[in-house]
Amino acid sequence: MEITKDMTIGDVVKKYPATVSALMNYGMGCIGCPSAQAESLEDAARVHGIEVSKLVDSLNNSIK
């Protein structure tokens, strides 16, 4: 399964623990916070000023 922008951070981290370092590299340090459990990658990228396609590509590369 491929990671998509609609997945929540919580689901991504739970299914693919290897993505934690990629998320941290993008400045998303609150991976375990309650809002991250329900926040989509797209929403988180917007809040952090990150281009969502680059984030998703990086996450998918981290699980290969």
Q: What is the pLDDT of residues 1-60, one digit of tens each?
A: 799 999 999 999 999 999 999 999 999 887 778 888 889 999 999 999 999 999 999 999
CA-CA distances (angstroms) from residue 45 to 17, 48, 53, 64? 19, 5, 9, 21
Contact criterion met (CB below 8 Å) for 58 and 19: no
pLDDT score of 57: 97
User: How far is Cα 64 from Cα 17, in angstroms, rounded to an integer?
Assistant: 12
User: How far is Cα 34 from Cα 48, in angstroms, rounded to an integer?
Assistant: 17
Contact criterion met (CB below 8 Å) for 13 and 63: no
Domain 9-62 classification at class level: mainly alpha
pLDDT score of 50: 96
